[in-house]
Amino acid sequence: MKAELVLDCRNEHGEGVLWNALDRRLWWTDIHGKKLWAYDPATKKSESYPAPDRICCFAPRRDGTVVAAFADGFAFFDPKAGRRDEIAKVEAELPQTRLNDGRTDRQGNLIAGGMDEKDGKPVSSVWLLDANLKVTKLFGSVRCANSTCFSPDGRTMYFADSPDCEIVAFEYTPGVSVGKRRSVAKLPKERGVPDGSCVDAEGFIWNAVWEGYRVERFAPDGRLDRTIEVPVQKPTCVAFGGADLDILFITTSRLGSGSEILEREPQSGSLFAVRPGVKGLIDAPFAG
């Protein structure tokens, strides 16, 4: 199957895509473009909202605002007003790190992991922000957090430290801690690395393969079930959306792409989609 262009938005670094059931729109962030984007599949209209800093991942709130993992910490953000209200700084003692990938768990807690932007060293961590706005460190020694998503019952958390080229699963106590870890799937390093992921209604994991021109679907036991071709080099994240949650949306990036690639693939950084024949699950809005 092949993904098709949905919106020619050419983000610098599209990421963190999710379906917001509260307004029935698809939302994502252009991290380095410092904007949130929204797209309505019914009307095919899109909007973008400038942000005061890089929003790396986020989740909707019932009042129309979002809770965001900015590069330097957690904050509430009102896209229409452009207002940021601080919750907590993260890894302030590590100026080379920033928050990166994340999603809410099934209970509406936000999990966001970091990355070392300077040297790629395992010095960052994965953090949990609960409904009481308490920040808890889940685990450390992370180089570049990605693929955070949850099984349908919410008791398994999937994750990838991208340079390891491996998707892993943790036993997960919602809003509390992670437990035993197991390997789910390893990607051949010469064919790209795991980036953002989501889980469908059948419990399978969909992963965007950075620099891999594809999205892959894995069974919970790690079996590769299918591959979706993406016509640009850098898929970044995936989410099911649409009225029936039967469209897989794919964000992409132009970050670090040379002029030769961008000339060949001018729609890099745009939004793509495919109907894969299965349905997704709605990401919970933030509980706080």
Phi, psi of 261 (to 5 degrees): -65, -45
Residue tagged 């040297």 (tokens): 119
For residue 262, the SS3 value is helix
Task: Please say whether the beta carbons of 167 and 149 come within 8 A.
Answer: no
Looking at 195, 200, 225, 246, which residue is catalytic? Answer: 195
**Would you give the distance in Å from CA 272 to the centre of its chain?**
15
To 5 degrees, how large is the angle CA 199–CA 229–CA 69? 45
Token pair of 216 as six digits: 């892959």
Told to judge if 195 belongs to the known catalytic residues of this protein, a careful annotator would answer yes
Handedness of CA 78, 81, 85, 90 (dihedral sign): positive
Active site positions, annotated: 195
